[in-house]
Amino acid sequence: MLARFSRFLGGGALLVAGAASSAWLSADVPDRSEAAQKAAVTAIADRAIAEMRRHYPEGAPTLVRRDAHAKAHGCARAKFTVAPDIAADLRIGSFAFPGREHRAWTRFSNGAFSPGDDTGLDGRGMALKILDVTPDGPAHDILMINHPVFFSSDAVDYRDFADAGALTGDLRGLFRYFVPGWNPFNWRWRQAFIAYRIASAPIASPLTTSYFSMAPFAFGPGQAMKYSARPCDGNPRPLDAERGPDFLRRALASGLAGHEACFDLMVQLRKGSMPVDDVTVEWPEEQSPFRRVGRVDLMRQSTDTPARDAFCEATAFNPWNAPQAHAPLGSMNAVRKAVYDSISAYRRQRNGVGAVDARSAWDGL
């Protein structure tokens, strides 16, 4: 889908070159004030719920899935250990105590609204839920995908994405978002390129892919950072080269059936003028490299049992489940709070399930 769209944009470069000399053409400048961002967050949440109700009509005996990352490859039990040699300036919040171990869960997924073929163009996600960060407190959820940046810059831009009817991945909606009219100076060339990079990134297994938070989070008072999870050397690779519709699920299950795996959890501290509210901009690693704060160890286990699948479907991951020291920052994270809270409540009500106790499940599944 995005590949066809990318070829169209490539051909459109000639049109832009010819139109550049026309004085009447100029890019529209949207209102990006704080009030506009807040209004956009509300509009996006309303649109997301409307799309869910349209795709999952009341009374239909259908499992209501997430609005994004609907297809899980599996949830794996894990342990998160704060790095014993963590640098003193990184000992903040969940990472304050060197060597401390926590129970954890991971969820690996495709990014699309509807479950699809693993061989198709799509983003890939890893969600991490660190348990027992504080006594009786909420878990610390960290959500990441397989690219350092997102294709929509902020809430105002993402509202245009929603208004175009693109939340469900509809091709016509995507086209309207990336090409909003005849004026090529309003076309979202850069965003289209980022979207294509996300969707076309090669992947052989969820266990051999790097993941990034894209959006920034607090790192104690007055600091911001981004997360990344990098696979350890020696993680199990797929046993065969067959790429069927569920090959990523098979790769995860077969990999952890006979082997352990791990990821290094990293943080990248914000420096200088690195933007907080434009998540299309990558923070240069030359200025601020990712630094290791801990390790996520996935033990040998079965990830493709009916009980594990049910847990994986019912469990919620939300970037706002975080200690105050790691509070989400920026308008795109504000969008996620509004949408995730609404969708999660809607799914629980429609599916007739309550909140899942991830701590009990860790011991029982």
Integer Cα distance of 299 and 301 in angstroms:
6
When pLDDT is cut at 50, 70 and 90, the band that residue 327 belongs to is very high
Integer Cα distance of 85 and 72 in angstroms:
34
Nearest alpha-carbon partner for 265 in 88, 108, 79, 137: 79
Predicted confidence at residue 1, as pLDDT, reads 43
CB-based burial, 230-268: b 16+ in 10 Å, e otherwise: bbbeebbebeeeeeeebbbbbbbbbbbeeeebbbbbbbb
Predicted confidence at residue 61, as pLDDT, reads 77
Q: What is the dihedral of CA 31, 160, 225, 343, to 10 degrees?
A: 130
Instruction: List the structure tokens of 49.
Output: 């719920």
Q: What is the mean pLDDT of residues 8-27?
A: 45
Q: What is the mean pLDDT of residues 106-117?
A: 95
Residue 8 has pLDDT above 80, yes or no: no
Predicted confidence at residue 16, as pLDDT, reads 39
Predicted confidence at residue 237, as pLDDT, reads 83
**Percent of the chain scoring above 70 in pLDDT:** 91
Integer Cα distance of 134 and 138 in angstroms:
7
Q: What string of DSSP letters covers 278-336?
A: -TTSPPPTTTS--EEEEEEEEPS----SHHHHHHHHH----TTSS-GGG-B-SHHHHHH
When pLDDT is cut at 50, 70 and 90, the band that residue 138 belongs to is confident
Residue 6 has pLDDT above 50, yes or no: no
Whether the model clears a pTM of 0.75, i.e. scores above it, the answer is yes
When pLDDT is cut at 50, 70 and 90, the band that residue 23 belongs to is very low
Instruction: Give backbone dihedrals phi and psi of 259, rounded to 5 degrees, phi first.
Output: -140, 155
Predicted confidence at residue 12, as pLDDT, reads 43
Query: Which residue type occupies 123?
Result: G
> Can you tell me whether residue 349 is helix, strand or coil?
helix
When pLDDT is cut at 50, 70 and 90, the band that residue 25 belongs to is low
Predicted confidence at residue 239, as pLDDT, reads 66
Predicted confidence at residue 62, as pLDDT, reads 84
Query: What would the pLDDT profile of 245-272 be if each residue is shown by its tens digit?
Result: 999 999 999 999 999 999 999 999 999 9
Sorted by where each begins, the domain ranges of the chain are: 2-17+33-364
Instruction: List the structure tokens of 153.
Output: 């810059």
Instruction: List the structure tokens of 286.
Output: 């030359």
Residue 14 has pLDDT above 50, yes or no: no
Predicted confidence at residue 241, as pLDDT, reads 63
Residue 98 has pLDDT above 50, yes or no: yes
Assign residue 214 a region (left: φ > 0; alpha: ψ between -120 and 50; beta: otherwise): left
HEC per residue, 122-170: CCEEEEEEECCCCCCCCCEEEEEECCCCCCCCCHHHHHHHHHCCCCCCC
What does the mean pLDDT of the chain come to?
90
Q: What is the mean pLDDT of residues 290-295?
A: 98
2-17+33-364 topology per CATH:
Catalase HpII,  Chain A, domain 1 (2.40.180)
Instruction: Give backbone dihedrals phi and psi of 324, rounded to 5 degrees, phi first.
Output: -60, -30
Query: What would the pLDDT profile of 62-92 be if each residue is shown by its tens digit?
Result: 899 999 999 999 999 999 999 999 999 999 9
- Please, is 291 exposed, middle or buried when counting C-beta atoms within 10 Å of its C-beta (0-12, 13-18, 19+)? middle
Residue 17 has pLDDT above 70, yes or no: no
Integer Cα distance of 268 and 227 in angstroms:
6
- Cβ-proximal residues to 35 (8 Å cutoff; 6+ apart), any chain: none
